[in-house]
C-alpha cells in the first residue's frame, strides 16, 4: 500500500480568480473600527434601504408563515399569482402587456436574476458589453459566466454613448452577444427617456445584440420624472428582457424578490437552469409579495417622498458648504464630483479622509470602475436629521 500522504487538492478557484478584491472593503473596515472605538459614523456608503417594508406585506407574511402548507418547496419560477401580480403592475405602471405564464419569472432579487441570466446568455468565447462605471454585478455576472467584457461609458451624452457602442460592436469579433444597461443608473444617477430605448432596440435588432435592462430604480424618481421601461418600446421583447425588483421602490431588500420579464425564449431558458439550482423563494414571501405588488402603490409614493426629502437635505447642505452637486432625478443616491481642492487626492483617499475627519462613510467612485474616479457616491439611507449632521461633519473637513 502507498504510505505517502495524500496530495492537497488543487485549490486554485479558477472561476473566481479573476474577481478583484472588494474595493469598498477599506471603507467598511475603517467604519467598523471607528464604531468599535465608540464613534458615531453616519453611513451613506452601502445602498441598503432603511425604510421599513410595507406593513400590509409584513402582515401577510406573518399570516402565510403560520400556514404549514406554505412550508414546503415552492415553485422555482414563482407561484402563478405572483407572476400575474407583476404583469398587472407592468400594465398599470407602464402600459406594458406581459404573459405571466411565459414572460415573467421570479428571481432571488435582481442580483441573482442577473447572475443566472448570464449563465444562459453567454459562455467562454462570448463577449458582453457592460456599463462603465458600473454596479459591480453588471460586470461580474457575465465575467463569472466566462464571457469577455467590454465596458461602454454612460458618462457622456447620448451621442457619446452610441458612438462608443457602435465602435465597440463593429470592432469586436465575434460580435458581442449581450448589452447590459441600467437606468436610472447606479452609481451615476444618469436617467434616460423612452426615445433612448427606442434607438437601442433598433440598434440591438440591427447588430444581433440581446438587451438586458436592470430596472432596479423603476420606482424611485423625483420632480415629475418617470423612468421608462425598456419594454414600452414596441418589439422590445424580441431583443430583450428587464429586471424588476421589490428591493428599492417597495423597500423589501432583505426579502430577495425580483423578476425577469420580457423575451419568452430567454425566460424559458432561465426557468430551465433555475429548476436545477433552486426550489423557489419561501412561499410566504411570495404570497406577501403579491400583496406588495397589488396594494402598495401609495406606500411607494411615501418612499419617494422620503428619499426626495433626504436628497434635498443633502444637496442643499453640500451646496451651502461650497460643494456644488447636482440633484438626481432618480435612484437613492447622490453622485458627487470631489470638491474643489481635493481632486488630486483620489476618491478612495478622499472617502477615507471624510470617514476619519468628518465621520461620514461614502463609497469611493473608483470602486465602480476607473471612470468613477474623481467622484464619491452618497446613499440616502439615513434620515434627514442624520444627513444634516453628516453635512456638519463634511463642513468641518472642507474648512
Ligand atoms: C442597479 C442595481 N441592480 C440591482 C440591485 C440589487 O437588487 P436586488 O436586491 O433585487 O438583488 C441594486 C442594489 O443596489 C442595484 O443598484
Ligand 1 atom closest to residue 253's alpha carbon, by position in its atom list: 9
- Per-residue model confidence (pLDDT) at position 309: 98
Question: And the C-alpha cell for 262?
Answer: 420580457
- What's the predicted TM-score (pTM) here? 0.95
Residue ranges of E strands in 115-193: 127-132, 148-153, 178-181
- Per-residue model confidence (pLDDT) at position 14: 77
Q: Whose CA is nearest to atom 3 of ligand 1?
A: 216
CATH of the domain at 324: 3.90.1150.10
Could you please report the per-residue DSSP string of 350-392?
HHHHIIIII-EE-EEGGGG-GGGTTEEEEE--S-HHHHHHHHH
Same-domain pairing of 130 and 264: yes
- Phi, psi for residue 91 in degrees, rounded to 5: -65, -50
- Per-residue model confidence (pLDDT) at position 85: 98
Question: 263 C-alpha to center of ligand 1: Å?
Answer: 21
Give domain status of residue 2, yes or no.
no
Q: Which of 295, 321, 353 is the last residue of a domain?
A: 295
Give domain status of residue 7, yes or no.
no
Residue 20: Cβ within 10 Å count? 9
Run means of pLDDT, 10 residues per run, the chain, 399 residues: 63 77 82 93 94 98 98 94 98 98 97 96 97 93 94 93 94 95 97 97 97 98 98 98 98 98 98 93 98 96 98 97 96 97 94 95 94 96 97 95
- Per-residue model confidence (pLDDT) at position 17: 75
- Per-residue model confidence (pLDDT) at position 399: 84
- Residue 109 Cβ inside 6 Å of ligand 1? The answer reads yes
Could you please report the per-residue DSSP string of 279-327?
--S-HHHHHHHHHHHHH-HHHHHHHHHHHHHHHHHHHHHHHHTT---PP
- Per-residue model confidence (pLDDT) at position 291: 98
Same-domain pairing of 98 and 158: yes
Same-domain pairing of 246 and 375: no
Q: Please, how many CA atoms are within 13 Å of residue 240, restricted to the half-sphere of its CB?
A: 28
| Residues in CB range of 283: below 8 A, 6 or more apart | 64, 70, 71, 72, 74, 79
**What value does the CA radius of gyration of the chain take, rounded to a whole number of Å?**
22
Give domain status of residue 44, yes or no.
yes
Same-domain pairing of 169 and 318: no
CATH of the domain at 96: 3.40.640.10
Question: 43 C-alpha to center of ligand 1: Å?
Answer: 18
Query: What is the domain count for the chain?
Result: 2
- Per-residue model confidence (pLDDT) at position 6: 63
Q: DSSP secondary-structure letter at 338? A: P
Question: And the C-alpha cell for 125?
Answer: 468565447
Q: Which of 237, 263, 295 is the last residue of a domain?
A: 295
Q: Whose CA is nearest to atom 7 of ligand 1?
A: 110
- Residue 289 Cβ inside 6 Å of ligand 1? The answer reads no
In whole angstroms, what is the distance from residue 165 CA to residue 12 CA? Answer: 35
Give domain status of residue 66, yes or no.
no
Ligand 1 atom closest to residue 331's alpha carbon, by position in its atom list: 16
Same-domain pairing of 129 and 261: yes
CA-based nearest residue to 109, from 227, 228, 217, 244: 244
- Residue 242 Cβ inside 6 Å of ligand 1? The answer reads no
Residues, the chain: 399
Question: 386 C-alpha to center of ligand 1: Å?
Answer: 24
Ligand 1 atom closest to residue 258's alpha carbon, by position in its atom list: 10
Give domain status of residue 47, yes or no.
yes
Q: Which of 269, 295, 321 is the last residue of a domain?
A: 295
Strands 363-364 and 375-379: antiparallel
Same-domain pairing of 154 and 276: yes
Strands 333-337 and 258-262: unpaired
Question: And the C-alpha cell for 145?
Answer: 459566466
Place of cell 414563482: 78
Domain carrying residue 76: 71-295
Which residues on neighbouring strands pair with residue 240, listed in sequence order?
A: 211
- The H or E element spanning position 169 is helix 158-170
In whole angstroms, what is the distance from residue 145 CA to residue 115 CA? Answer: 8
- Residue 216 Cβ inside 6 Å of ligand 1? The answer reads yes
Same-domain pairing of 320 and 214: no
- Per-residue model confidence (pLDDT) at position 228: 98
Give domain status of residue 288, yes or no.
yes
Amino acid at each position: 500500500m502507498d504510505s505517502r500522504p495524500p496530495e492537497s487538492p488543487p485549490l486554485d478557484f479558477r472561476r473566481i480568480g479573476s474577481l478583484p478584491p472588494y474595493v469598498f472593503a477599506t471603507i467598511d473596515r475603517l467604519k467598523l473600527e471607528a464604531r468599535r472605538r465608540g464613534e458615531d459614523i453616519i453611513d451613506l456608503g452601502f445602498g441598503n434601504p432603511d425604510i421599513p417594508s410595507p406593513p400590509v406585506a409584513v402582515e401577510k407574511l406573518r399570516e402565510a408563515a403560520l400556514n404549514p402548507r406554505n412550508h414546503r418547496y415552492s415553485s422555482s419560477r414563482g407561484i402563478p399569482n405572483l407572476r400575474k401580480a407583476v404583469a398587472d403592475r407592468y400594465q398599470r405602471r407602464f402600459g406594458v402587456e406581459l404573459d405571466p405564464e411565459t414572460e415573467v419569472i421570479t428571481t432571488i432579487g435582481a442580483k441573482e436574476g442577473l447572475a443566472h441570466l448570464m449563465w444562459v446568455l453567454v459562455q467562454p468565447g462570448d463577449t458582453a458589453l457592460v456599463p462603465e462605471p458600473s454596479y459591480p454585478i453588471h460586470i461580474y455576472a457575465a465575467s463569472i459566466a466566462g464571457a469577455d467584457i467590454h465596458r461602454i461609458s454612460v458618462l457622456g451624452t447620448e451621442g457619446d454613448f452610441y458612438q462608443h457602442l457602435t465602435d465597440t460592436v463593429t470592432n469586436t469579433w465575434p460580435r458581442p452577444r449581450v448589452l447590459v444597461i441600467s437606468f436610472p443608473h447606479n452609481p451615476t444617477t444618469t436617467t434616460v427617456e423612452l426615445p433612448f430605448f427606442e434607438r437601442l432596440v433598433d440598434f440591438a435588432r440591427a447588430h444581433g445584440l440581446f438587451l438586458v435592462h436592470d430596472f432596479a430604480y423603476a420606482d424611485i424618481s423625483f420632480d415629475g420624472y418617470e423612468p421608462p421601461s425598456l419594454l414600452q418600446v414596441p418589439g422590445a421583447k424580441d431583443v430583450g428582457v428587464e429586471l424588476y425588483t421589490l428591493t428599492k421602490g417597495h423597500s423589501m431588500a432583505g426579502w430577495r424578490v425580483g423578476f425577469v420579464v420580457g423575451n419568452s425564449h430567454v425566460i424559458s431558458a432561465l426557468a430551465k437552469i433555475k429548476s436545477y439550482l433552486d426550489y423557489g423563494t419561501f412561499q410566504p414571501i411570495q404570497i406577501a409579495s403579491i400583496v406588495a405588488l397589488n396594494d402598495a402603490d401609495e406606500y411607494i409614493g411615501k418612499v419617494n417622498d422620503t428619499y426626495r426629502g433626504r436628497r434635498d437635505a443633502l444637496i442643499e447642505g453640500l451646496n451651502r458648504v461650497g460643494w456644488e452637486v447636482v440633484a438626481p432625478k432618480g435612484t437613492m443616491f447622490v453622485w458627487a464630483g470631489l470638491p474643489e481642492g481635493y481632486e488630486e487626492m483620489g476618491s478612495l483617499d478622499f472617502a477615507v479622509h471624510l470617514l476619519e475627519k468628518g465621520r461620514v462613510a461614502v463609497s469611493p467612485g473608483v470602486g465602480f470602475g476607473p471612470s468613477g474616479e474623481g467622484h464619491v457616491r452618497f446613499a440616502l439611507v439615513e434620515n434627514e436629521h442624520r444627513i444634516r449632521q453628516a453635512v456638519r461633519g463634511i463642513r468641518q473637513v472642507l474648512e
